[in-house]
Amino acid sequence: MDLQFLGTSSGVPTKARNVSATAVIEASGKSWYLVDCGEGTQHQLLHTPLSMRDLRGIFITHVHGDHCYGLPGLLASAGMSGRSEPLELIMPLALHEWLRLSLAVSQTYLPFELHLLAVETLQDWRSAQVAVTTVELSHRVPSYGFVFTEINPEPRLDTERLQADGIPRGPLWGDLAHGRQVEHEGRVLDTLTYLKASRAARRIVVCGDNDSPALLAEVAKGADVLVHEATFTEPVLQRSQSNFGHSTAAAVAQFAEAAGVPNLVLTHFSARYQDNPQRSPSIDDVRQEALAHYSGQLTLARDLQRYHLGKDGLLAAV
Amino acid sequence: MDLQFLGTSSGVPTKARNVSATAVIEASGKSWYLVDCGEGTQHQLLHTPLSMRDLRGIFITHVHGDHCYGLPGLLASAGMSGRSEPLELIMPLALHEWLRLSLAVSQTYLPFELHLLAVETLQDWRSAQVAVTTVELSHRVPSYGFVFTEINPEPRLDTERLQADGIPRGPLWGDLAHGRQVEHEGRVLDTLTYLKASRAARRIVVCGDNDSPALLAEVAKGADVLVHEATFTEPVLQRSQSNFGHSTAAAVAQFAEAAGVPNLVLTHFSARYQDNPQRSPSIDDVRQEALAHYSGQLTLARDLQRYHLGKDGLLAAV
């Protein structure tokens, strides 16, 4: 699985970073999922190979504008580009009426079905390749994280079971291996019964805004990658009067270290952190603060950068 | 007065052109007005010297998303940047509820007053420097153009009138020249009475989507600049089944020539027109089609390009 960041700035866009949006890409490299859709997400997509036709679902973590204002434009452009497959959109119930009104008032008629699901009551959402569950976070408004887990990755024939069930080696095995339903001795064989994953399923957790990383304790177990906001560093937080419902790099790094998460990706940086390390505060301050508490593979997300979760279990820029 | 284009593409953004937004800038170079606000307008502003604090009014031509989806994000960011002065927003009545819901549902609380006015009933809107009137256009939905006319440009003392009224030359004249109200022989002198424009007022017409340039016949009289969409060229239109309520470069150029408009700016180009003249159709096809019908100063708007209306009455890139 890959990740491609479409926006890594908190609250407002900067010249270098757009507001929140993250693409989670299947191991096939084609089908993908969008977490959050700040204004300008469709513009960022123009600079990636991701196609709106291959988008399998949109997940919105919370109602703040920097996480959802890009939805009406993204959907309108998807319509104009000729998407015809239904699209599922999982988001806070409060945004459902707003999105419908946004499309209606602008007389935008989509040529595909839009299925709106409430994140508050989402149960085990699945595409053909990926299962998604939610985790409740803590922010100024209700906020969620999304746990993406591969389903049956790289399936191979379960030859032991085939032999035990007396299915003769030959064309039948080939059909099952290609996912085709076959008949044998008058009964239909279910392809899924005879396919099993040839490697462990990957798990990526992509979080919305959150001031309490400890809420991720359960889902962090067995997660390969944790994508979490690090809006502030400790010195900046201490000078301000409030954390505004956000986390510091230190707090997230400490949590990830304790939970044993092998890959930590920080994002959603306050616009005050400059990309130029000569300026203060800089994004390098965020990195140094996290490194002081975390010994795993640390990534500070950059706009449009794609990261690949390799066979060694480590996330690396590609 | 200056113009700076923030988006010149029709319907969808491209890598080179954003969706519609145009800044009209006062002769002072500071205060400005925004016509249309497609998604990503606030991003474009980051690449200009224009400040949200100096914005005096927003005017939306019609309800289509590529002309208004950027409003919630622009206003939210203006709030976060600390704007405190009230802001007037002139737009189709149908968008008022949508904008209020967009801010409310995302829990965006602006630190400035937002005054929503209906474009359908707008009467002679004025700031200190500019008067704005509307003109009805023809599109798939109701669409408007906005006529910006300078008020009393570069005012100088009306010395003839001062002498006729017996106001003695001296400190009183200085106070009036600086716009200060003064008292003379027991009565208050109104500064506007004794100031008059030292040059003709400039007039710039910025239009929304429109398939009937002839509707501009009245407002084109005396206009210095006409900014109008040229979504298609004639050959492209002939191949499609519909004009979708838009104009061709030829139709707009013919109108501007007949109306004697000295400066014509075309914008809102279909994304099919490539900036690379080696590709077909290219933006150069639009230019050639317009040039065949128009002998004035022709400009094809480019994103982020600023244009100055000079003392010679001609618009030029700066």
The predicted pLDDT at position B53 comes to: 96
- pLDDT tens for each residue of B151-196: 989 889 999 999 999 999 999 899 888 888 888 888 888 888 888 8
| Position B7 confidence tier, pLDDT thresholds 50, 70, 90 | very high
Q: Is A66 a catalytic residue?
A: yes
Q: Work out how many CB contacts closer than 8 A connect A with B.
A: 112
Domain ranges of chain A: 2-154+199-317, 155-195
| Position A317 confidence tier, pLDDT thresholds 50, 70, 90 | very high
Query: How many angstroms away from the CA of B299 is the closest CA of chain A?
Result: 26
The predicted pLDDT at position A28 comes to: 87
- Which residues in chain B have their CB less than 8 angstroms from residue A81's CB? 12
Written out in words, the top-level CATH class of the domain with range A2-154+199-317 is alpha beta
The predicted pLDDT at position A239 comes to: 93
- pLDDT tens for each residue of B190-203: 888 888 898 999 99
B39 and A11: CB-CB below 8 Å? no
Query: Which residue is catalytic, options A2, A36, A66, A175?
Result: A66
| Position A189 confidence tier, pLDDT thresholds 50, 70, 90 | confident
A46 and B11: CB-CB below 8 Å? no
Higher pLDDT, B287 or A197: B287
The predicted pLDDT at position A190 comes to: 82
- pLDDT tens for each residue of A158-181: 999 999 999 999 998 998 888 888
ipTM: 0.94
Higher pLDDT, A99 or B311: A99
| Position A104 confidence tier, pLDDT thresholds 50, 70, 90 | very high
Q: What is the mean pLDDT of residues A93-121?
A: 98
Summary mean pLDDT of chain B: 96
- Which residues in chain A have their CB less than 8 angstroms from residue B97's CB? 101, 105
- pLDDT tens for each residue of A18-35: 999 999 999 988 999 999
Residue positions forming the annotated binding site of A: 62, 64, 66-67, 139, 209, 268
User: What DSSP line would sit under chain B, residue for residue?
Assistant: -EEEEEE-EESS--SS-PBSEEEEE-TTSS-EEEE---TTHHHHHTTSS--GGGEEEEE---S-GGGTTTHHHHHHHHHHTT--S-EEEEE-HHHHHHHHHHHHHTT---SS-EEEEEGGG---EE-SSEEEEEEE--SSS--EEEEEEESS-SEEE-HHHHHHTTPPSSHHHHHHHTT--EEETTEEEPGGGGEEESSPPPEEEEE-S-S-GGGGHHHHTT-SEEEEE--B-HHHHHHSS--TT--BHHHHHHHHHHHT-SEEEEE-EETTSBSSTTSSSBHHHHHHHHHTT--SEEEE--TT-EEEE-TTS-EEE-
Percentage of chain B exceeding pLDDT 70 = 100
The predicted pLDDT at position A89 comes to: 98
Which chain B residue has its CA at the smallest distance from A95's CA? B105
CB within 8 Å of chain B, chain A residues 125-184? 140-141
- pLDDT tens for each residue of A35-75: 999 999 999 999 999 999 999 999 999 999 999 999 999 99
Q: Tell whether the model's pLDDT for residue B281 goes beyond 90.
A: yes
The predicted pLDDT at position B191 comes to: 81
Residue positions forming the annotated binding site of B for Zn(2+): 62, 64, 66-67, 139, 209, 268
